[in-house]
């Protein structure tokens, strides 16, 4: 799933397909970063960041920076030979064209840092959510069959496109439900900017505040039969109207790429389910690691059979 999502994100956002080899290398760098920032939720502090940065993490960070610069130079070279009447509109192309605007002044590393950020944020959470949702579908054959039927009707043999989404409403609810039970970002961390009362509690200015999606999404006060994988719950309620459902965080600092993730993941889920039987044993979704994202400790062992 990581190889899939990083190649999709890089091609759509940056105009460059990383290819399988570079995608695998990027995945390894992200794995190193996850280990560096792993922590216990019961002992989290605002200063939980590592006191010493490991040589492995420094090497991974340098690799990501170098890859970002390589992508920028490749894109810059291609844009130099592009027809100006039909300019590409990927994010990186827009950033590079803005360099010529005298009203725009970028800091020296601005574009590189933007590329690195979109590479990191644009793929990992989607890869994790697809992994967990496919695992849930493997345990729910009736739901999987319904997704497959919808995909056959909506996609047929065509390549998935954005305009197919209107005919993939059930698949979208399935993905929403996967995000509820296995939110890739398992908690949001904030710091109180002023003293405030929340219910019976007073939060002092400067206090650490944790909004744990993992716990809230599984709380029976907010969801009927909360541990059940039940996409139909989103027929009865709109996700946007449920304040206790916030897989992309909430408020002014919510994820800027939420619609990109929802669209891409829904299309991917439909195509994967249409073309393959993907089997995951239940135990594979239990051994998870709380890094900044919720990761499987040893990956998720899966058997995949193409459908005839």
Q: Which residues are catalytic?
A: 125, 248, 255
3-state SS class at 49: coil
300: left (phi over 0), alpha (psi -120 to 50) or beta: beta
User: What's the length of the chain?
Assistant: 308
Cα–Cα distance between 18 and 2 in angstroms, integer? 12
Beta-carbon contacts of 89 under 8 Å, excluding residues fewer than 6 positions away, are none
Nearest to 132 by CA among 270, 20, 269: 269
Angle at 213 between CA 211 and CA 215, to 5 degrees: 95
Q: Pull the structure tokens for residue 113.
A: 């840092």
Q: Pull the structure tokens for residue 66.
A: 């170098």
Q: Pull the structure tokens for residue 39.
A: 């922590």
Give the number of other CB atoms < 10 A from CB of residue 265.
25
């Amino acid at each position: 799933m990581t190889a899939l999502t990083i190649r999709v994100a890089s091609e759509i956002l940056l105009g460059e397909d990383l290819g399988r080899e570079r995608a695998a290398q990027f995945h390894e760098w992200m794995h190193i970063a996850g280990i560096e920032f792993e922590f216990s939720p019961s002992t989290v502090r605002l200063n939980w960041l590592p006191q010493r940065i490991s040589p492995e993490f420094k090497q991974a960070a340098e690799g990501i920076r170098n890859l970002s610069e390589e992508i920028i130079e490749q894109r810059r070279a291609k844009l130099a030979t592009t027809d100006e009447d039909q300019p590409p509109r990927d994010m990186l192309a827009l950033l590079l064209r803005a360099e010529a605007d005298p009203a725009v002044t970028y800091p020296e590393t601005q574009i590189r840092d933007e590329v690195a950020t979109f590479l990191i944020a644009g793929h990992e959470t989607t890869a994790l959510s697809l992994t967990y949702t496919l695992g849930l579908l493997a345990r729910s054959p009736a739901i999987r069959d319904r997704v497959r039927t919808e995909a056959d009707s909506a996609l047929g043999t065509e390549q998935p496109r954005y305009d197919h989404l209107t005919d993939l409403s059930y698949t979208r609810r399935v993905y929403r439900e996967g995000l509820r039970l296995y939110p890739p970002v398992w908690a949001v961390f904030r710091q109180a900017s002023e003293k405030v009362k929340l219910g019976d509690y007073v939060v002092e200015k400067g206090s650490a505040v944790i909004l744990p999606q993992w716990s809230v999404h599984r709380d029976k006060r907010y969801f009927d039969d909360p541990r059940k994988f039940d996409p139909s719950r989103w027929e009865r309620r709109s996700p946007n109207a449920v304040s206790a459902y916030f897989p992309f965080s909430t408020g002014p600092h919510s994820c800027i790429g939420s619609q990109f993730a929802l669209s891409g993941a829904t299309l991917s889920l439909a195509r994967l389910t249409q073309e393959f039987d993907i089997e995951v044993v239940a135990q594979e979704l239990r051994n998870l690691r709380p890094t900044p994202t919720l990761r499987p400790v040893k990956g998720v062992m899966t058997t995949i059979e193409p459908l005839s």
